[in-house]
Amino acid sequence: MAPFFIFKASGSNHMEAWYHGSEVLPSDTMTVVSPNGWISDELSLAWLAEFNTATKDRTKRGEKRYLIFDGHGSHLTLEFLQYCEQNNIIPFGFLPHLTHLCQPLDGKPFLNYKQQFRLINNDLSFWGGKPYGKAEFLQIIQPICEKALTKRIIRESFKDRGIWPVDGRQIVMQLTNQLVIPDISVPELRGSPTPPLLLSSSVENSPPATIEALTRNQAKIMKDITNISEKTKRNLTKVFQHQMQKLEELQMTQEAICRIRTAQEP
């Protein structure tokens, strides 16, 4: 599909000078503006409509199309997702923190694009030219894309990311190579002395810190409550049993932590 350019500009004004010499661009190229030069919810929806127009004739009747994207908020609006559903488009967002591994354009296509763009920049610097503006960018971008974003490179990028042909091992292998598991020495806890229990708080109105204190509090509550049904008493008893179980687990965890700290001391 044709390019979709977003320029930084106030309001919705386009300068005529931007388009001098840009006849090399495809006729259906879209150039839009935003206050910060970033995509917005409205621009994302406009691009989605262009995507639908450019790809709907490539599928058979009733077939769906996959649209793969990152987790940017403009891709997750209700209007965006409703448009996808109404036009047989299946939106698929990458998991957080994995876009750099799953995004096919982040591999060979962008690398080749940067190399082609750098060649032109080097020529510009050598001949002492001025930095590129919007007009110059629109003049040179199409030849760069034709060299950098070929069908072969795009297909290889989808293959490298395991998107097509489908191969999840491509991502798993990259995650495995990045995962560093440090050596951990596990101390021997059996022979370590049991240190005194460390309490997290000494405030008088804090929750009971020992099983004995919890038992006393529970007995006091049951004694003070008289006008309750048997069903309520049974429910309270279950709550008390759950409290007792959690406190026992907490004390065991605290004791284990203390033993580990003691064993690791020089």
pLDDT in tens, 173-231: 888 776 655 555 555 555 555 555 544 444 344 455 567 777 777 777 777 776 777 77
Confidence check: pLDDT of 18 > 70: yes
Note the pLDDT of residue 259: 74
Confidence check: pLDDT of 125 > 70: no
Question: If pLDDT is split at 50, 70 and 90, which confidence band does 41 have?
Answer: very high
Note the pLDDT of residue 65: 96
Note the pLDDT of residue 117: 86
Backbone phi and psi for residue 252, each to the nearest 5 degrees, phi listed first: -65, -40
| Domains of the chain and any CATH numbers | 4-177 (3.30.420), 211-263 (no CATH)
> How many percent of the chain have pLDDT more than 70?
82
Residue with tokens 């409205």: 42
Q: What is the mean pLDDT of residues 153-165?
A: 93
Q: Which residue has the higher pLDDT, 145 or 17?
A: 145
Confidence check: pLDDT of 79 > 80: yes
Residues 6 or more apart whose CB falls under 8 angstroms from that of 51 comprise 1, 67, 89
Backbone phi and psi for residue 67, each to the nearest 5 degrees, phi listed first: -120, 115
Q: Which two tokens stand for residue 94?
A: 């990458």
| Radius of gyration (C-alpha) of the chain in whole angstroms | 32
